[in-house]
Chains A and B, each alone.
Chain A
Amino acid sequence: MARPLFSQGWLRRNMTTVGPIVAAIAIIVGFQAVNPFFLSHDGMITLVYAMSYFLIAACGLTFVVMMGSFDFSVVSLLKLAALLCVLYMDKLGFLVIPLALIISTGLGFINGLFVARFNVPSFMATLGVSVVVEGAALYLSKGFLHIIYNETFRSLATTFIAGLPSIFYWAIGIWLISTFIAIYTPFGRRTYAVGGNLIGAGLSGINVERHRIYVFMLSGFLAGLAGVLYMAQLGGGSMLIGADMPIPLFASVVAGGTALTGGVGGPHRTLLGVIIITWIQAGMLMLAIGRDTQMIVFGLIALGMSVATIDRKRIKIIK
């Protein structure tokens, strides 16, 4: 007997995979139809710049979400790392890059310490750290716009290879490594296990406390790396770096199919989520749609995606 190619049950089971693909295609076709600039060469460069730093940070956040936690501090860590580069490049030279990465990783460690050791809910711990970091960034930058004049530093992100800027290759490289870690390493497996059932993971011999700290450190590290490369891309910045990032960033992880309940999804999915979110953002900019409308759109996307991916069976109590 002939079976339909996609039965209804199949579609329902694979919604988190099919949904993002359909959405991404719809967005590309839609914007291209309205504005042919979208997929032109210059348009592509814009799109790639918009998504690359974003993808790096989103990969780190994905691990945290896979683990069933959340990291609100990603954008602040990105901002701090970016500002450290612009502020201290003159004094420290390229040493500023490892310094920025160590500091952001260290702050990730502090996130993890509060969550795993002191049992502070991750949204609160990371929000707290994020506010402290924002304060530090404001203190260091004095609120001014700072410009970076070191062309070698800028070339980290802006060298063109095969028609696309180097930051794109950084991002794809990080994405590939993240995907590999998630699927092919004990670290990745443990992350899924802790996200799927914290107690069961502990009873299977996983040092849950240590692992959670590691994941927050990874998230901090990738936030820092995204910040460094973003600064190389921009060539300067102020406290406003990443100002419109938080909700789109969270939405991109969820839109890819990594549910906030943890234990499912993974960085391989986050690429599509990032494409969907950042290209909507860029597309709207190209059409000169204002920030007001953008904010409304992204708020709604974040809410909608959360509803679509969350596993309601597993959440008995929402606090």
Chain B
Amino acid sequence: MSSSLILRAEGIDKSYPGVHALDHVDFDLFEGEIHVLLGENGAGKSTFMKILSGSLPKDSGRITLRGQEVEILNPHHAWELGIGMVYQELSLIPSTSVAENIFLGRLPKRKPLGTVDWAETFSRARNILDDLGVDIDPRQRVRDLSMGERQLTEIAKALSMNVQILLLDEPTSALSEEERERLFHILRGLQEKGVAVIYVSHRLAEVPQIGQRVTVLRDGKKIGTLPVEQADEATLIRMMVGRELGEQFPKTEVPRGRELLRIRGLTVEGMLHDLNLTLHEGEILGIFGLLGSGRTPFARVLFGVDRMDSGEIFVDGNKVEISSPAEAIELGFGYLTEDRKEGLIPHLSIPANITLASLKQICQLGFLKHSEERQAAEKYVRELGIHTPKLHQRVEFLSGGNQQKVALAKWLCSRSKILIFDEPTRGIDVGAKAEVFRLMNDLAGQGVGIIMLSSELPEVLAMADRILVMAGGSFTAEFARGQGTQEDLMRYAVVR
């Protein structure tokens, strides 16, 4: 490589309680290079990006920028150093215009009073967007933009600050095929101008399309860096997962029992369209969908958090109305949210969290029986293998995998027969993942019906008895176990 080194990171280390998120990671980046950072969920990619962009402090390690050691203090400081980050969760303000977002905090001023020079704001935004080859009206409000257009607005914002290093965290997860092509085209254009890009992804197929080199992270460790010519899919998969998928997610066959749940024509105007499914005892039904496919809205409607406009739900053959989580729990539903923190009460102890959805069961004459609560908690801590220094530990101090188990214990305690897992392995390390899958298997074996919502192809393929693919709020395909390949599923998951 003839161009010069722009960024080097050495021995970057970062730990959270219970998780070693980054274990002495080395990384380098050349001018005009697109360097793909590949890894599974929880491999440490996002943590690494956050350290480079100044939104997380590193525990130890050195970062050198053009040969000079730097301490990146905060996101603003990163911008000043020429490092711009485009976040996975976009950081735009929906209620303001594209131009305002691009120049947020640095709107052009007009003398003498320092009022905003709107004409200048819009014309400069227009220029930046034109340079990118993007056709977005700078006066448009961000909330009216598509996901892809928002992403491009973020990139325009980064470029408006003369960024030399652009960090993109899973930029294509919410994009359509066409938008993705356009993004790649734009990135190549930036590359020609000498901008270096770190491109985070867990999509193997994207690597040769966009990158020059690829670095693989696994469980917080750097596994290796390769030029893309040497990085065929088999090699990358081996580097990413380390072992065979079958070994990682051992699925036990469970005979399917009677019907637990039937959904007919579930519709939420403009979001979910005519969804139909059935779920049986002992069945793991995978619903595969990318970000924005409607997975989570579907789960929320089913659990009574949000309302549906039309459709029918049958539990055990009886038509039911679910208008609140309390009613859903009464009917035997349990919902493990995508963001675990959303479902748990971090300040409360393990027992208090476990019994929260079934307080009536541990009550006598309207008073909590702490002894029964402790017994119930002890039982689940033992059965699920929750690792904790003491029973009455606050759940905020547990690792992600153990928090997930507490969340699961809550639904076991409330005797759920239908469990909805939304991204059950998000943010937990590989060992804990295998354990969560083992528990899913055990539950299926006990006759629980499981709806597993996921954007992780290998996990859905390995775990589900049946897979529904979701895109744009509809089910687009159904595969029996062993029928579909990753490519098949992905084809139906991309919105056309």
Contacts and interface: CB of A to CB of B under 8 A. Distances in A.
Given A203-B335, A205-B325, A205-B329, A189 B344 contact: no
Given A202-B325, A206-B326, A263-B348, A185 B342 contact: no
Contact of A203 (B325, B346, B367, B368): B325
B157 interface: no
B345 A201 contact: yes
B408 interface: no
Interface in A184-222: 184-186, 188-190, 192-193, 195-197, 199-207
Given A193-B348, A197-B341, A197-B346, A204 B324 contact: no
Contacts of B335: 203
Contact of A193 (B325, B345, B360, B366): B345
B475 interface: no
B347 A205 contact: no
B326 A263 contact: no
A193 to B, nearest CB: 5
Interface string B325-360: 110111000010100011111111000100011011
B305 interface: yes
Given A189-B356, A193-B348, A200 B342 contact: yes
B410 interface: yes
B363 interface: yes
B345 A197 contact: yes
Interface string B400-443: 00000000001000100000000000000000000000000000
Contact of A200 (B344, B368, B414): B344
A264 interface: yes
Contacts of B347: 192, 195-197, 263-264
B303 interface: yes
Contact of A192 (B325, B345, B357, B414): B345
Contact of B356 (A183, A185, A193): A193
Contacts of A183: 368
Interface string B280-305: 00000000000000000000000101
A203 B348 contact: no
A204 B330 CA distance: 11
A201 B359 CA distance: 12
A203 to B, nearest CB: 5
Contacts of B344: 197, 200
A97 B146 CA distance: 61
Contacts of B348: 192-193, 196, 263
Contacts of A207: 324, 326
B324 to A, nearest CB: 7
Given A203-B303, A203-B305, A263 B345 contact: yes
A196 B343 contact: no
A185 B343 contact: no
A295 to B, nearest CB: 33
Contacts of B305: 202-203
Interface string B304-331: 0100000000000000000011101110
Given A185-B368, A186-B363, A263-B348, A204 B357 contact: yes
A4 B320 CA distance: 61
Nearest to A264: B347
A203 B342 contact: yes
Contacts of A186: 359-360, 363, 366, 368
Interface string A2-30: 00000000000000000000000000000
A189 B352 contact: yes
A199 B342 CA distance: 6
A264 B345 CA distance: 11
A88 to B, nearest CB: 35
B342 A184 contact: no
A196 B346 contact: yes
Nearest to A181: B367
B371 to A, nearest CB: 12
Nearest to B344: A200
Contacts of A204: 325, 329, 343, 345, 356-357, 410
A157 to B, nearest CB: 30
B367 A185 contact: yes
Contacts of B363: 186
Contacts of A195: 347
A207 B327 CA distance: 10
A193 B410 CA distance: 14
B393 to A, nearest CB: 12
Contact of B343 (A184, A190, A200, A264): A200
Contacts of A199: 342
Interface in B45-95: none
Contacts of B368: 183-186, 188-189
Contacts of B366: 185-186
A139 B368 CA distance: 45
Given A185-B368, A189-B356, A196 B345 contact: yes
Nearest to B340: A200
A184 B414 CA distance: 19
A63 to B, nearest CB: 16
Contacts of B346: 196-197, 263
Nearest to A186: B359
Contacts of B330: 205
A205 B345 contact: no
Contacts of A185: 366-368
Nearest to A194: B345
Contact of B359 (A189, A200, A264): A189
A207 B303 CA distance: 14
Nearest to A199: B342
Interface centre among B326, B329, B335, B345 (most CB of A within 10 A): B345
A175 B55 CA distance: 45
Q: Which of B341, B343, B414 has the most chain A CB within a 10 Å cutoff?
A: B343
Contacts of B303: 203
A102 to B, nearest CB: 23
Contacts of B356: 189, 193, 201, 204-206
Interface centre among B326, B337, B347, B363 (most CB of A within 10 A): B347
Contacts of B345: 192-193, 196-197, 200-201, 204, 263
Nearest to B328: A205
B327 to A, nearest CB: 8
A200 to B, nearest CB: 5
A205 B411 CA distance: 11
B95 to A, nearest CB: 15
A279 B363 CA distance: 39
* Most B Cβ at <10 Å: residue of A196, A206, A263: A196
10 contacts: A184-B370, A186-B359, A186-B363, A186-B366, A188-B368, A189-B359, A192-B352, A203-B303, A204-B325, A206-B356
Given A204-B345, A207-B326, 18 more contacts: A186-B360, A186-B363, A192-B348, A193-B345, A193-B348, A196-B346, A197-B341, A197-B344, A203-B305, A203-B343, A204-B329, A204-B343, A204-B357, A204-B410, A205-B328, A205-B329, A206-B326, A263-B348
Report, nearest first, the 10 A-B pairs whose CB atoms are least far apart: A196-B345, A263-B347, A205-B326, A196-B347, A205-B329, A186-B359, A204-B356, A204-B357, A197-B345, A193-B345
